[in-house]
Structure 1
Amino acid sequence: MHKRQSRIVRITHRPSGEVIAEGPVGLWDITPFEGNFYIRWRCLRTRHLRPNWIPGLCIYKFLYVWLDLELSDGRREPSIGWLYWLPNPLFAFIAFRPAVPQFSPAFAIEELAR
């Protein structure tokens, strides 16, 4: 029987080279959903994502806050990601997970060999 191998991705902030996340793609790790990556905390590789407390509302996923990337050299990338802190219960898998867009010039997405 052929065992399916999972994809592993690394998400890097292009301007700084800061690795944001790295891990397998799937429901329990880095979840692609609607053109975004929702990142489980164990796959997060940076400690520099900070909520800026600017709220957002998605009509069907509900309430989130924007996340800024505050780099150790003092640079700041505002509203680079978000975090659903009051999600629609139908989308519980996105709750409390930092998220970033899959297709953004700010990020480099690499597939890694397993």
Structure 2
Amino acid sequence: MRHIRICHVPSGDLIAEGPVGLGGITPFEGNYYISRKCLRTTGFRPNWIPGLCLYKFLYVWLDFTASDGSKTPSLGWFYWLPNPLFFFIAFRVAVPQSSRDLAVEALV
């Protein structure tokens, strides 16, 4: 089973760690969708800027506040009204795979 660790580069804070897959951290369309059990931070807060994906539906952007107090605006997002066909992204914090503010490490 593959595991990954996602860290916030500027602060070094651990954002998520867990197995890759539906029960853990799901890679989909260039993003990581993180289940609650794999989320290792409480730093994400909604900034109430809405977004709409034509097939995944309604989401809200999340700002990240690190343990040192530094802030990264709109680092993630959360689908508030997801398309039921994409159940594996529903109600999960999502972050991009290609962000300069994130470091992803594959664990054995």
2:15 aligned residue (11, 20, 27): 20
User: What CA deviation, in whole Å up to 9, does each residue of 1:47-92 have, x standing for no partner?
Assistant: 1111111100001100000011012332211000000010111111
For structure 2, the residue ranges without an aligned partner over 5 or more in a row are none
What is the CA–CA distance in structure 2 between the aligned matches of 1:76 and 1:15, rounded to whole Å? Answer: 10
1:88 aligned residue (83, 87, 91): 83
Give the length in aligned residue pairs.
108
Are positions 1:62 and 2:57 aligned together? yes
Instruction: Using structure 1 for the length normalisation, give the TM-score.
Output: 0.91
What is the CA–CA distance in structure 2 between the aligned matches of 1:63 and 1:101, rounded to whole Å? Answer: 17
| Misfit runs of 4+, over 4 Å | none
Maintained 8 Å contact 2:11/2:70? no
* Partner residue, 1:99: 94
SS in 2 for 1:90: helix
Compute the RMSD of aligned alpha carbons: 0.8
Identical residues among aligned pairs (%) = 69
Instruction: Using structure 2 for the length normalisation, give the TM-score.
Output: 0.96
